[in-house]
Structure 1
Amino acid sequence: MDIPLNVEVTCSNEQVCGRSDCVLLNPVTKEITHLVVRTEGFIHQKQMVPVDLIVESTPHKIVLRCSQKELAHLKPFTHVEYLDAYGEEYLSEPEITGPGAVYMWPYGMAENGPMAVPIEDIPQGELGIHRGAAVEATDGRIGHVDEFLVNPENSHITHLVLREGHLWGQKDVTIPISDIKRLGEDVVYLNVNKHAIAQMPGTPIKRWWP
């Protein structure tokens, strides 16, 4: 099963509900637990979707078994904290909002006032990997994450697909999980060098998204 990033996500009613933003995974077991979906609309939200809600996934689209309303009620991926422009500490939301206050997102604050800072709520013990995360061979950077291939029976990663524009031009290079040494915060470390990866089979890239 493909779990591509920055592709269209549709809900059970076949309505487009957003785009895939990143995946959350256990760096020890290399099991993907959630897909983060950036919702459509005037106000973009990011929701954490358990992988068992994915019913179909191709390199070009992901289909969920939930409705748009159910998606909106899933756990949000981000919350907002406020940074005091004059100090170093964050202010809690109630300290700068009063009863009945309404904010449009994104919204501005007075010059030199508290600044809204979005914070990702990554579950303890897990990592978030975004599209474009760096991929490092033993002898240096080789490219960026485009998508993961996952065993649908246990949600464990089987392969990493390098993003277009890596050292070998316009083709996909699929790297097996055995060549992944460890996963960091938006960095994937391999246990092979650039020469070994250059020998791996690749396929020409054909993309319908940016």
Structure 2
Amino acid sequence: MPDAALDLTLSAPVHATDAAIGRVENVIIDPHQGKATHLVVREDALPNTLRLVPEKYIASAGPDGVRLNISQQRAAACKPYIQEDYYSPAFFLSLAKAEDVRLPMAPSSWTVEHPTTPAGSVALAGHEPVRATDGKVGRVDGVLTERHTGRVTHLLLRTGHLWGTREVQVPAGLVSGYEDGDVLLSATKAEIGALPDVHAG
């Protein structure tokens, strides 16, 4: 891996300047800019808490995980990735009144959770199916980006089966799109199979 690259492997440990804080849950990619814009970090201290960490806070990323250039306290202040919207009984009563509908019983409150993935972006969670022009070729393991720009240079792709897996770096130029949870490539299975295993030799 080039010195100027960041290896954003999914599930990799994440360290602030003063402590380990969690693991990479998602890498957020803006396909239009071709950049990784955020990491979603699952906190160790509060395992159900996910933080949206901007790419500018990544100091380095490699075999030992991701290192941020901010403190644990500053990382904990990053925006939550899961947003909760609260709907009170009064909200449902006002809807019913506006539609002139009689409710069969008194409504209760609802809390709806949803991710705050920026509009037009894709949240890679790991193991998304990757499809070549002639069929499925593997699953996503992570993303390589340029250190200073955030530009995605390669996707890390795991191919093969449990008894014979390989990890290859697929150039970002071969990614033709993201659709229905799949990553689409403009190359054939044979072309991807000819890429070298990053762990060989």
Scaled to the shorter chain, the TM-score interval is 0.7 to 0.9
Change in 2 beyond 3 A, CA 1:168/1:31: farther
Residue 37 of structure 1, aligned match among 32, 38, 41: 41
Pick the structure with greater CA Rg.
2
Deviations 1:148-191 (A, max 9, x none): 11111211111111136459932211111121111335321100
Aligned counterparts of 2:142 and 2:50: Cα–Cα separation in 1: 19
2:156 alignment partner in structure 1: 161
What runs of 5+ residues in structure 2 fail to find an aligned partner? 1-5, 91-107
User: Is 1:80 the equivalent of 2:84?
Assistant: yes
Aligned counterparts of 1:62 and 1:127: Cα–Cα separation in 2: 20
Please say if residues 128 and 185 of structure 1, whose CA atoms lie closer than 8 Å, have aligned partners that are also in contact.
no
Task: Specify the SS of the correspondent of 2:56.
Answer: helix
Residue 118 of structure 2, aligned match among 119, 123, 131: 123
User: Over aligned residues, Cα RMSD in angstroms?
Assistant: 2.4
Change in 2 beyond 3 A, CA 1:43/1:172: closer
Aligned counterparts of 1:194 and 1:117: Cα–Cα separation in 2: 41
Kindly state the Cα deviation for residue 114 of structure 1 after the two structures are TM-superposed. Answer: 7.5
Change in 2 beyond 3 A, CA 1:171/1:204: farther
1:85 alignment partner in structure 2: none
2:14 alignment partner in structure 1: 9
Q: How many residues are matched?
A: 178
What runs of 5+ residues in structure 1 fail to find an aligned partner? 82-91, 97-112, 206-210
User: Could you tell me the TM-score, scaled by structure 2's length?
Assistant: 0.79
Task: Specify the SS of the correspondent of 1:204.
Answer: coil
Residue 56 of structure 2, aligned match among 28, 31, 52: 52
User: Could you tell me the TM-score, scaled by structure 1's length?
Assistant: 0.76
Deviations 1:90-133 (A, max 9, x none): xx35559xxxxxxxxxxxxxxxx878653111111212111111
Change in 2 beyond 3 A, CA 1:155/1:184: farther
Aligned counterparts of 2:155 and 2:145: Cα–Cα separation in 1: 9
